[in-house]
Amino acid sequence: MTDRDCIFCKIAAGEIPSATVYEDADFRVILDLGPASRGHALILPKNHYKDLCELDESVAARVLPLAGKLGAAMKRALGCAGFNVVQNNGTAAGQTVFHFHVHVIPRYEGGPEMVAWKPGKADPEELAAVSSSIQKELEL
Ligand code: 5GP
Ligand code: ZN
Protein backbone atom coordinates (compact mmCIF):
# COMPACT_ATOMS: atom_id res chain seq x y z
CA MET A 1 0.00 0.00 0.00
CA THR A 2 2.43 2.64 -1.19
CA ASP A 3 2.14 5.42 -3.78
CA ARG A 4 4.91 5.49 -6.41
CA ASP A 5 4.67 9.28 -6.69
CA CYS A 6 4.78 9.95 -2.94
CA ILE A 7 8.04 11.26 -1.48
CA PHE A 8 7.19 10.10 2.05
CA CYS A 9 6.49 6.56 0.76
CA LYS A 10 9.99 6.59 -0.73
CA ILE A 11 11.58 7.99 2.43
CA ALA A 12 9.66 5.56 4.65
CA ALA A 13 10.81 2.64 2.46
CA GLY A 14 14.42 3.82 2.64
CA GLU A 15 14.59 4.52 -1.12
CA ILE A 16 15.45 8.15 -0.37
CA PRO A 17 17.96 8.67 2.48
CA SER A 18 16.83 10.48 5.61
CA ALA A 19 18.10 11.18 9.13
CA THR A 20 16.26 8.24 10.71
CA VAL A 21 15.63 8.31 14.44
CA TYR A 22 13.60 5.08 14.62
CA GLU A 23 12.33 2.36 12.30
CA ASP A 24 10.16 -0.73 12.66
CA ALA A 25 7.82 -2.73 10.40
CA ASP A 26 5.14 -0.02 10.43
CA PHE A 27 6.95 3.29 10.90
CA ARG A 28 10.01 5.35 10.11
CA VAL A 29 10.71 8.43 12.23
CA ILE A 30 12.87 11.03 10.47
CA LEU A 31 14.13 14.54 11.10
CA ASP A 32 12.33 17.27 9.18
CA LEU A 33 14.40 18.96 6.43
CA GLY A 34 12.83 22.31 7.28
CA PRO A 35 12.86 22.10 11.08
CA ALA A 36 10.77 24.44 13.21
CA SER A 37 13.26 23.78 16.01
CA ARG A 38 16.31 21.60 16.68
CA GLY A 39 15.21 17.95 16.60
CA HIS A 40 11.88 18.47 14.77
CA ALA A 41 10.84 14.94 13.84
CA LEU A 42 8.22 13.38 11.58
CA ILE A 43 6.51 10.05 12.28
CA LEU A 44 5.80 8.37 8.93
CA PRO A 45 3.78 5.17 8.58
CA LYS A 46 5.32 2.92 5.92
CA ASN A 47 1.94 2.45 4.25
CA HIS A 48 0.42 5.33 2.33
CA TYR A 49 -2.56 7.08 3.92
CA LYS A 50 -3.40 10.51 2.60
CA ASP A 51 -4.43 11.90 5.99
CA LEU A 52 -5.87 11.05 9.40
CA CYS A 53 -9.30 10.22 7.92
CA GLU A 54 -7.73 7.38 5.90
CA LEU A 55 -5.41 6.07 8.60
CA ASP A 56 -5.72 2.42 9.60
CA GLU A 57 -6.88 2.13 13.23
CA SER A 58 -4.14 -0.28 14.29
CA VAL A 59 -1.51 2.13 12.93
CA ALA A 60 -3.29 5.06 14.56
CA ALA A 61 -3.22 3.29 17.92
CA ARG A 62 0.59 3.25 17.84
CA VAL A 63 1.12 6.87 16.81
CA LEU A 64 0.49 8.73 20.08
CA PRO A 65 2.53 6.34 22.26
CA LEU A 66 5.38 6.69 19.76
CA ALA A 67 5.08 10.50 19.79
CA GLY A 68 5.17 10.50 23.60
CA LYS A 69 8.28 8.32 23.73
CA LEU A 70 10.00 10.50 21.12
CA GLY A 71 9.16 13.65 23.05
CA ALA A 72 10.53 12.13 26.27
CA ALA A 73 13.74 11.14 24.44
CA MET A 74 14.03 14.66 23.01
CA LYS A 75 13.81 16.15 26.48
CA ARG A 76 16.64 13.90 27.70
CA ALA A 77 18.79 14.12 24.56
CA LEU A 78 18.30 17.72 23.47
CA GLY A 79 17.33 19.46 26.69
CA CYS A 80 14.07 20.83 25.32
CA ALA A 81 11.58 21.92 27.97
CA GLY A 82 8.53 20.50 26.16
CA PHE A 83 7.28 19.49 22.74
CA ASN A 84 4.30 19.93 20.42
CA VAL A 85 2.58 17.09 18.57
CA VAL A 86 1.11 18.52 15.36
CA GLN A 87 -0.76 16.77 12.59
CA ASN A 88 -2.14 18.67 9.58
CA ASN A 89 -5.04 17.47 7.42
CA GLY A 90 -5.79 19.24 4.16
CA THR A 91 -4.24 22.23 2.43
CA ALA A 92 -6.36 24.64 4.48
CA ALA A 93 -4.81 23.17 7.62
CA GLY A 94 -1.26 23.52 6.30
CA GLN A 95 -0.72 19.99 4.99
CA THR A 96 1.84 20.08 2.18
CA VAL A 97 2.77 16.39 1.89
CA PHE A 98 -0.26 14.17 1.40
CA HIS A 99 1.07 11.12 3.19
CA PHE A 100 -0.14 11.05 6.81
CA HIS A 101 2.55 12.20 9.22
CA VAL A 102 2.88 13.54 12.74
CA HIS A 103 5.24 16.36 13.67
CA VAL A 104 7.00 16.11 17.04
CA ILE A 105 8.51 19.54 17.64
CA PRO A 106 10.87 20.16 20.56
CA ARG A 107 10.22 23.43 22.41
CA TYR A 108 13.04 25.22 24.17
CA GLU A 109 12.85 27.73 27.03
CA GLY A 110 12.81 31.21 25.52
CA GLY A 111 12.27 29.81 22.01
CA PRO A 112 9.98 31.44 19.46
CA GLU A 113 6.19 31.22 19.73
CA MET A 114 4.65 28.67 17.36
CA VAL A 115 1.58 26.46 17.04
CA ALA A 116 -0.54 29.24 18.51
CA TRP A 117 -3.86 30.87 17.67
CA LYS A 118 -5.76 33.90 18.84
CA PRO A 119 -8.71 32.72 20.96
CA GLY A 120 -12.11 33.91 19.76
CA LYS A 121 -15.20 34.48 21.90
CA ALA A 122 -17.75 31.68 22.18
CA ASP A 123 -21.51 32.26 22.11
CA PRO A 124 -23.32 29.47 24.05
CA GLU A 125 -26.13 29.12 21.45
CA GLU A 126 -23.63 28.92 18.62
CA LEU A 127 -21.61 26.32 20.57
CA ALA A 128 -24.74 24.20 21.04
CA ALA A 129 -25.66 24.44 17.34
CA VAL A 130 -22.15 23.61 16.15
CA SER A 131 -21.83 20.74 18.61
CA SER A 132 -25.13 19.27 17.43
CA SER A 133 -24.29 19.55 13.73
CA ILE A 134 -20.94 17.77 14.18
CA GLN A 135 -22.55 15.12 16.38
CA LYS A 136 -25.04 14.25 13.60
CA GLU A 137 -22.19 13.51 11.18
CA LEU A 138 -19.98 11.62 13.63
CA GLU A 139 -19.44 8.04 12.42
CA LEU A 140 -17.97 5.87 15.18
P1 5GP B 1 3.00 19.27 6.47
O2 5GP B 1 3.06 20.73 6.12
O3 5GP B 1 2.48 18.44 5.31
O4 5GP B 1 2.29 18.98 7.75
O5 5GP B 1 4.49 18.85 6.75
C6 5GP B 1 5.40 18.46 5.78
C7 5GP B 1 6.77 18.54 6.41
O8 5GP B 1 7.65 17.73 5.67
C9 5GP B 1 7.36 19.95 6.40
O10 5GP B 1 7.69 20.32 7.74
C11 5GP B 1 8.59 19.83 5.51
O12 5GP B 1 9.68 20.59 5.99
C13 5GP B 1 8.90 18.34 5.56
N14 5GP B 1 9.49 17.79 4.36
C15 5GP B 1 9.06 17.97 3.08
N16 5GP B 1 9.82 17.26 2.22
C17 5GP B 1 10.74 16.61 2.99
C18 5GP B 1 11.79 15.70 2.67
O19 5GP B 1 12.06 15.36 1.52
N20 5GP B 1 12.51 15.20 3.71
C21 5GP B 1 12.26 15.57 5.02
N22 5GP B 1 13.01 15.02 5.97
N23 5GP B 1 11.27 16.43 5.34
C24 5GP B 1 10.53 16.94 4.34
ZN1 ZN C 1 2.97 7.96 0.64
Say if ligand 1 is within 6 A of residue 20 CB. Answer: no
Q: Reply yes or no on whether the pLDDT at 83 is more than 80.
A: yes
**86-110 pLDDT tens trace:** 999 999 999 999 999 999 999 999 9
Distance 33 CA to ligand 2 centre (A): 17
Q: Domain-by-domain residue ranges, the chain?
A: 7-137
Architecture of domain 7-137: 2-Layer Sandwich (3.30)
Closest CA to 83 of 69, 97, 95: 69
CA–CA distance, 87 with 104 (Å, rounded to integer)? 9
Taking the model in full, what pTM does it have?
A: 0.96
Q: Does 103 participate in catalysis according to the annotation?
A: no
Q: How many CB atoms lie within 10 A of CB 103?
A: 19
Ligand 1, atom 12, residue with closest C-alpha: 34
Say if ligand 1 is within 6 A of residue 114 CB. Answer: no
Reduced DSSP (H G I as helix, E B as strand, rest coil) percent helix, strand, coil of the chain, to 5: 35, 20, 50
CA–CA distance, 13 with 99 (Å, rounded to integer)? 13
